[in-house]
Amino acid sequence: MAAAEATIPMPPRELEAIEHIDNALTFPTFTSQTAWTLGCALRTKLLAFPKPCVIDISLAHGTHCLFHATTHGGTTIDNDHWVTRKRNTVLRWGSTTWYMHNKFAGDEPAFAAKFGLGDGAGSYAIHGGGWPVRVQGVAGTVAVVVVSGLKQEQDHGIIVLAVGEMLEEMGVEVGEKKKED
């Protein structure tokens, strides 16, 4: 499995680099078909790993699920709790959970204290694998992609890889964020 793991690039840890990549990966549109295609691509890539993973893509408003699947037997309800916690973080702060992890150097108590989360801190996770779907010309987060089951940098990296490949297939220039007309 080492060869499969090598296909997931290690994401940067510098906040500016993370923001640059995340902002460059903007969809021209995002529909239920887009979510299905992305979810299937993620699942196909994750099948190469023996560890069971959960993939979830939900709209940002409410909890309307567009795609939810596992890769192998062995997932538990805890996987779905991680999905919910990562999704909550993306929705509240509008950034990837990998960005939040690196912003707080993985220090969950500091994260919870900064935002006065108290007993509600368990509703959020600053572990890679939660990613906001952005659409050109639309303000804010349209949907949230979550992968849970691998190491957090792999959870994040596989999303970035799959989204980048999908955008390239759609003919979207990935790299510099396009200017608004």
Please name each of the domains of the chain with its CATH number: 12-169 (3.30.450.150)
Q: What confidence tens digit (pLDDT) does each residue in 10-63 have?
A: 999 999 999 999 999 999 999 999 999 999 999 999 999 999 999 999 999 877
**Strands (DSSP E) along 60-159, which ranges?**
65-70, 130-133, 143-148
pLDDT digits (tens, 9 = 90+) for 94-150: 999 999 999 999 999 999 999 999 999 999 999 999 999 999 999 999 999 999 999
Give 105's contacts (C-beta < 8 A, 6+ positions apart). none
